[in-house]
Structure 1
Amino acid sequence: MPSPSLPTEQATPLHECLISLGSNIDPDHYFAQALDIIGRECNLLARSKAILTTPVGFQQQPDFLNAALFVSTHLEYEAFRAYLKEVEDRLGRVRGTIKSGPRTMDLDIVAWDGKVVDEGYYQHDYVKTPVDEVLASSGRTLEPAKRS
């Protein structure tokens, strides 16, 4: 007997997303929390190991723990971006006046459906190194960002 399926008009496409994670406030705790939440609420396909990096921008703060996650989701880009900001809020993220200041968790979309959407991938090793590890382990590649 065939399994039931959603009617075509109700089916939503599955999107693939590479996420950059960063934390320098109790990072081991908040990394575990972020992985738990995203692992339960998204389809986690792969993850990198965490790396310790020095702060960029504002220097008077602890080092960061950075990593990357590869997930799939039925949410569209803007909805998924809002979802990640909501996860940051759930993890106690305080957005202060110093944009590059300390944080419990920073979650950014680096690539969406195989296309780079964050120039940070090209500019910062703390983004590129974990993302490249996930790409290698998943057999995926990325299309470059459209540069103006």
Structure 2
Amino acid sequence: MEKVFLGIGSNVGEKIPYIKKAVTLLSKILTDMEKAPLYISKAVGFEDQPDFINTVISGYTDIEPYELFKKVKDIEKKVGRIKRFRWGPREIDIDILFYGNLLIEKDDLIIPHPRIHERDFVLKPLSDLDPDFVHPVFKKTVKELLLNLKEKSIISSLQLSTL
């Protein structure tokens, strides 16, 4: 079993229900799942769109990385994702951030996610779950990456007791 971290975000429609539904579906393929708090953040890339709600979950799986990627994309469809354009609005977005310390660099799958170190809306919830996890490429902890981050997009955290 490998520990995986998945980033989840939504900025269209019923954002929190979409995230809750994704987490419920992901709980069927991950064991010992942990959930970080929710954060509101400005859009990155294409900025002229609504704010996002983001979180990170962790859990364990014996599903191979490509199969996990397929399952994650299927869950996005089940939740209601509509494909628009790169960095555009999303009902739900689920990214594989880390799969243990595995390194994969293929056209359709890159692990660790290539922009983790640039995004506080990923690093902050990651740090909430496991601040001492070491990024296998940069050889720095999640906490160190967050502390060294220059640009910030998080506006606030959401205080919800359950997700």
Does TM, scored on the shorter chain, surpass 0.5? yes
How big is the shift at 1:132? Answer: 1.3
SS in 2 for 1:119: coil
Output the TM-score relative to the length of structure 1.
0.80
Does the 8 A contact of 1:120 with 1:127 survive in 2? no
Does the 8 A contact of 1:53 with 1:65 survive in 2? yes
Cα root mean square deviation, aligned: 1.9
Letter in 1 for 2:6: I
User: Greater CA radius of gyration, 1 or 2?
Assistant: 1
Cα distance change on mapping 1:114 and 1:45 into 2, 3 Å:
farther
Q: Which has the higher helix share?
A: 1
> Could you say which residue in structure 2 is the equivalent of 1:10?
none
Residue 107 of structure 1 pairs with residue 94 of structure 2 = yes
> Could you say which residue in structure 2 is the equivalent of 1:59?
47
- Tell me how far apart the structure 1 counterparts of residues 52 and 71 of structure 2 sit (CA, whole Å): 22
How big is the shift at 1:146? Answer: 6.5
How big is the shift at 1:40? Answer: 2.9
* 1:89-146 deviation per Cα after TM superposition (whole angstroms, max 9, x unaligned): 11111111x211111111001111145611221011111111111114xxx5223327
- Tell me how far apart the structure 2 counterparts of residues 146 and 82 of structure 1 sit (CA, whole Å): 27
- Tell me how far apart the structure 2 counterparts of residues 84 and 24 of structure 1 sit (CA, whole Å): 18
SS in 1 for 2:47: coil
Letter in 2 for 1:109: I
Residue 78 of structure 1 pairs with residue 66 of structure 2 = yes
Output the TM-score relative to the length of structure 2.
0.73
* Aligned 1:135-146 pairs, distance under 5 A: 135-136=130-131, 141-145=133-137
> Could you say which residue in structure 2 is the equivalent of 1:8?
none
Letter in 2 for 1:31: I
For structure 1, the residue ranges without an aligned partner over 5 or more in a row are 1-13
Does the 8 A contact of 2:6 with 2:56 survive in 1? yes
> Could you say which residue in structure 2 is the equivalent of 1:34?
22
Residue 18 of structure 1 pairs with residue 5 of structure 2 = yes
